[in-house]
Amino acid sequence: MNLKNPVLEIRNLRASINKTEILKDLNLKIHKGEVHAIMGPNGSGKSTFSKVIAGHPAYKILSGDIIFNGESILKLEPEERAYLGIFLAFQYPIEIPGVTNLNFLEQAYSSKLKATNNEDIDSFKILEYISRKAKSINMSETFLYRNLNEGFSGGEKKRNEILQMVVLDPEVAILDETDSGLDIDALQTISKGINTFMTDKKAIILITHYQRLLDYIKPTFVHVMRNGKIIKTGDFSLAQELELKGYEWIKES
Amino acid sequence: MTDQSDKILNRDLINLANQPYKYGFRTNIEGDTIEKGLTEEVIRIISKKKNEPEFLLNFRLRAYKKWKKIRCPEWAQLNFPEINFQDIIYYSAPKQLEKLNNINEVDPELLNVFEKLGIPLTEQKRLTNVAVDAVFDSVSVVTTFQKELEQYGVLFCPISEAIQKYPELIKKYLGTVVSIGDNYFAALNSAVFTDGSFCYIPKNTKCPLELSTYFRINEQKSGQFERTLIIAEENSQVSYLEGCTAPKYDENQLHAAIVEIIALENATIKYSTVQNWYSGNKKGKGGVYNFVTKRGLCAGNNSKISWTQVETGSGITWKYPSCLLVGNDSQGEFYSVSLTNNYQQTDTGSKMIHIGKNTKSRIVSKGISTGNSKNTYRGFVNVNNKALGARNYSQCDSLLIGNSSNANTFPYIFVQNSTAKVEHEASASTIDEEQIFYLLQRCFCVEKAIATIINGFCSEVYEKLPAEFSMEADFLLSLKLEGSIG
């Protein structure tokens, strides 16, 4: 048991979209230094869970609370949650035509600095910082000069999400199926990026379908989500068991 | 979209485009203003005030006769009350302006006006790489770098000065691209035009500076009828930019301009506009009526004319910068960003007339409409039977913000030979809430997110603007959008 205060705590959370309840009494505590893997069959509410934490306006919170470092963030706008240090790597990264990746990263990073420290850094330093981060995860500079996700392959989009993560350097990163659609090489690169990012001051939520990713990134906990709630929690061996047996054998407790 | 997600758009977007118009001040400058109304007598007065040669007076009178016979065009997607032409002042000049040889003779108040507009004209402060002709109501106030340009043989001066100094050039070219009876507003302009810019680039010369004209309407009742004529001789090159603003008045002011440009063999002319006339208030009261005829003639083989426009102002805009591609292998281009907000109405686009062999044209139009505005693209591509191997590519994208704005696209394509290739692509979209959410998640605020998406949408056109002005256009657009989105 971790006696310290969790960095992120989800309490009895119920949420709906278009009047359909997706999250039903979800509870989760995440401490710094932990990697939580969330697995579960399609339609169990995993992506909804990630978007609700990030504050997507399409979802309605019916009851419960989301606590970040001791404060409820339910009333905060998505960008305010981002300033606090919540990052969501999108399952389907969005294309923004005509906006270069570099311009986007510069604006994102400078907005965060501005919001958190009220700090203005000159753009040359920002550029240097971004190139360094790109290098740290083996992304070539040419990536930076392409338009944001426009014409990117599936793997490139996912790597780009990881680049954004390391640039914004959040406290809690939620990675929504960042591994899906990747070949082995890309998976290794991404895992390396995630492992470099991870320290005892950070926490990661990995939403995934496959044990494969967990071979590279060792989870502290593995949760099984089904029908909008967490029905089983275990360690890495649970992921191995799921890989063999599927989800059907687990009954809601 | 759900109600919840609408909220995200509505939250700050409502405040986004209603940023006050910062150029709306009026300056008290003693003026030499004639009585309002339009008669043959008025035209004679204007011509006399400008001490014009007789051929020009005749040109004006012929245009006036034509104008009286033509009717105001009604085919555009624009609604406005009938214009009372007798209620307009056709000549208004700041006093003391006899002949300016020296910037120090210019009324400091006038210089202040332009400085406030971001166009410093005094020698200490003027832009170093741009020559500026500043036009205030009916007359040109000052032209910078004239002497320096003369060393290259480049003539850059107010058109009224050119009429005095270079009547042969004026006689040869004025009205050759836009004839006096071309259309209602062109005829009006030809009858009453007061000032504007004249540029002449001699053979084998690349103009060493960007040329720029800055137009300012000040007088409440006055119309602005400027006339610009640019001639690029063989193997020459020039890049020209015009900018415009006006004070805020509850009444509508009329602006009916003509721009004629002529490119001879191997010449290249790039003409850029950043148009920011007063657009009226939130309820649509006031604003400039902007009826403009802009046309370029690619007369020589291998010549090129490129129009780039960023249109954000005016209550009503009616303009179709066009290219007549007469020379073989000549090229025409039109890049446009048109942003409308509140009750603005815009009917704009381009005409590409292919006459020479292997002529090429390209149209890229980006329309953004928000508030209760109407934004129409109207384009005409005509390939003549002699224009063998002609090519055109047109792309019209509309971005709609909010649910009360309106976007239309009317492409007319007329092809008379089977060797032509003509392509037209069009799209209409709204700002995707998922794009906004993505940017918010990446620490952008809503305004910044929208500005970023819109700038991305327009990037293809911005790239075509002279570097000095693409930042300005960017900034102008985000200013305009502030408060507009709902």
How many residues can be counted in chain A? Answer: 253
Upper half-sphere CA count for residue A66 (Cβ side, 13 Å): 18
Residues 183-242 of A with CB under 8 A from B: none
SS3 for B63-91, per residue?
A: HHHHHHHCCCCCCCCCCCCCCCHHHCECC
Mean pLDDT, range A103-111, rounded to an integer:
93
pLDDT at B413: 96
CA A170 to chain centre: 10
Comparing B281 with A128, the larger pLDDT belongs to A128
Whether the pLDDT of residue B211 is over 60: the answer is: yes
Distance from CA of B318 to the nearest CA of A (A): 28
Facing residues of B382 across strands? B353, B414
* Residue pLDDT, tens place only, B22-70: 666 666 666 677 788 889 999 999 999 889 999 999 999 999 999 999 9
Residues in A touching B446 (Cβ below 8 Å): 79
Interchain CB distance below 8 Å, A57 and B444: no
Q: What's the pLDDT at B267?
A: 98
What is the C-alpha separation between B359 and A174, in angstroms, rounded? 55
pLDDT at residue number B254: 85
Q: Who wins on pLDDT, B358 or B90?
A: B358
Reported ipTM: 0.95
Query: Which of the pair, B282 or B258, is modelled with greater confidence?
Result: B258
**Distances from the Cα of B297 to the Cα of B231, B303, B331, angstroms:** 10, 9, 10
Q: What 3-state class would DSSP assign to A236?
A: helix
pLDDT band at B476 (very low <50, low <70, confident <90, very high): low
B-interface mutation test, from A17, A76, A77, A79, most B Cβ less than 10 A away: A79
The closest of B424, B443, B440 to B377, measured between CA atoms, is: B424
Mean pLDDT of B173-200: 93
Q: Which band of pLDDT confidence, cut at 50, 70 and 90, is reported for residue B275?
A: confident
pLDDT recorded at residue B13: 38
pLDDT band at B381 (very low <50, low <70, confident <90, very high): very high
B2 touches chain A (CB under 8 A): yes
Mean pLDDT, rounded, of chain B: 83
Nearest to B155 by CA among B232, B93, B59: B232
A195-241 residue pLDDT tens: 999 999 999 999 998 888 999 999 999 999 999 999 999 998 898 88
- Higher-pLDDT residue of B326 and B480 is B326
- Give yes or no for residue B15 having a pLDDT over 50: no
Mean pLDDT, rounded, for B130-145: 71
pLDDT digits (tens, 9 = 90+) for B76-85: 888 888 888 8
- Tell me whether residues A90 and B456 touch, CB distance under 8 A: no
Q: Given this model, what pLDDT does residue B102 score?
A: 58
Q: How far apart are CA B40 and CA B107, in angstroms?
A: 32
Buried b (16+ CB within 10 A) or exposed e, B220-237: eebbbbbbbbbbbbbbbb
Are the C-beta atoms of residues B431 and B403 closer than 8 Å to each other? no
* Domain A8-245, classified CATH 3.40.50.300, yes or no: yes
- What value does the mean pLDDT take over residues B189-218? 88
Give the residue with greater pLDDT, B218 vs B304: B304
Using the Cβ of A168 and the Cβ atoms of chain B, whether some distance falls under 8 Å is answered with: yes
Mean residue pLDDT of chain A comes to 91
* Chain B 419-478, residues with CB within 8 Å of chain A CB atoms: 432-435, 437-446, 448, 452-453, 455-460
Q: Name the residue among A78, A99, A104 with its Cβ closest to that of B441.
A: A78
Q: Is A225 helix (H, G, I), strand (E, B) or coil?
A: strand
